[in-house]
Amino acid sequence: MDTLSKSPIQVGLEALSVGERCLRPYAHRFSPHVYTQPQLFACLVLKTFFRLDYRGIVALLRDFSDLQEALELKFVPHFTTLQKASRRLLLAPHARHLFHTTVRRFLKRRRRVPRAAFDSTGLDLGRRSFYYVRRRQKVDQPWKTIAYSRFAKLEAAVDCDSHFLLAVLVGRGPQVDVNRFVPLLEATLQNCDPLSVLADAGYDSEANHNHAHKQGVRTYIPAKIGRPTDKLPKGRHRRRMRQRLNKDYGQYGQRWQVETGFSMLKRRLTSTVNARTYWNQCRELLLLALTFNIMILYAAAGFLQSNSRPLFFP
């Protein structure tokens, strides 16, 4: 299992290096040319790393000159500059390119991944007090234990060997997972070639098995969807899962690695999304996934070998 980097300078430099590989220095030729787009992207990554808002990361950069020197910032950007940069840099095409760059830097020349685990997780919208939620619940409804009506949903393909995010899809829940298998697999195939995919029963569908096998990917999904019965499923792949998944397919036990990856992300970064609108929530989820990959990227790929910038400053 790869660890997450705890150094803000290391994370900032790695984010700057990723940004320089896939972002133009400036948005257009008439821009003020005060900050480069890779510098603004590194500031956004540090905002997520420190669990701050835009005003908070600006205040932190002003107080710590080492971070300014690491990012080669001549001036600390205004918080509105970072807010506008997030809306521009985290659009779907730019976010896909940034995410693809982190995956390629992690895998280097290889594209084969032995096992990838698919799953989704929810993040709270806002910071509501659970004590307040419990007090507001009616006395005549003691069974009411759900404290939300909707949540931010992060769907991810996780490398079982390193917990690195190979692909992500963002949206809002609750919604079923069975029809999200194909989009998540297609997003994964754009970045790497998994030999096998492990998923829970929420993705159980004969059509999902057929689509994956046409792409040359083996699937391991428990056949548990539908009314309980002793009869075997009609589909070829689901029937094989019912007969042999717990006997011959012992590697399905590695599916829990995706749960470990989500636990690492929530414990080290955050389990809440503070944005209010849908698209801002999606951008925040994408930035969260990028920051998580960058934190693993330093520890796994060896930052000193991939970046020539000094870590310490006189």
What's the Cα-to-Cα distance from 91 to each of 52, 146, 151, rounded to whole Å?
Answer: 21, 32, 21
Within 8 A by CB and 6+ apart from 113, the residues are: 107, 159, 166, 192, 193, 194, 195
Compute φ and ψ for 87, nearest 5 degrees: -70, -30
Task: Write out pLDDT tens, residues 64-114.
Answer: 999 999 999 999 999 999 999 999 999 989 999 999 999 999 998 889 999
- In the prediction, which pLDDT does 145 show? 57
Specify whether the CB–CB gap between 211 and 184 falls below 8 A.
Answer: no
- In the prediction, which pLDDT does 150 show? 84
What's the Cα-to-Cα distance from 39 to each of 24, 147, 194, 266, rounded to whole Å?
Answer: 11, 39, 33, 25
Two structure tokens written together for 129: 């007090």
Compute φ and ψ for 218, nearest 5 degrees: -80, 145
**For the purposes of burial, counting CB atoms within 10 Å of the CB of 126, is it exposed (0-12), middle (13-18) or buried (19 or more)?**
exposed
- In the prediction, which pLDDT does 289 show? 96
Specify whether the CB–CB gap between 92 and 239 falls below 8 A.
Answer: no
Task: Write out pLDDT tens, residues 219-232.
Answer: 999 988 888 888 88
Reduce the DSSP state of residue 101 to 3 states and report it. Answer: helix
pLDDT values of the chain reduced to their tens digit, one per residue, 314 residues: 457 888 999 999 999 999 999 999 998 888 888 999 999 999 999 999 999 999 999 999 999 999 999 999 999 999 999 999 999 999 989 999 999 999 999 998 889 999 999 999 999 887 776 666 666 665 556 555 555 678 999 999 999 999 999 999 999 988 899 999 999 999 999 999 999 999 999 999 999 999 999 999 999 999 888 888 888 888 899 999 988 887 556 678 889 999 999 999 999 999 999 888 999 999 999 999 999 999 998 766 554 344 444 433 33
Q: What is the pTM of this model?
A: 0.88
Q: Calculate the dihedral angle through the C-alpha atoms of 177, 94, 304, 167, rounding to the nearest 10 degrees.
A: 10
Compute φ and ψ for 3, nearest 5 degrees: -90, 165
- In the prediction, which pLDDT does 313 show? 34
State how far the Cα of 38 lies from the Cα of 51, in Å rounded to an integer: 20
- In the prediction, which pLDDT does 182 show? 96
- Which amino acid does the sequence have at 243? Q
- In the prediction, which pLDDT does 141 show? 61
- In the prediction, which pLDDT does 308 show? 43
**For the purposes of burial, counting CB atoms within 10 Å of the CB of 60, is it exposed (0-12), middle (13-18) or buried (19 or more)?**
middle
Q: Which residue has the tokens 């949206």?
A: 171
- In the prediction, which pLDDT does 193 show? 95
- Strand 272-273 with 165-173, pairing: unpaired
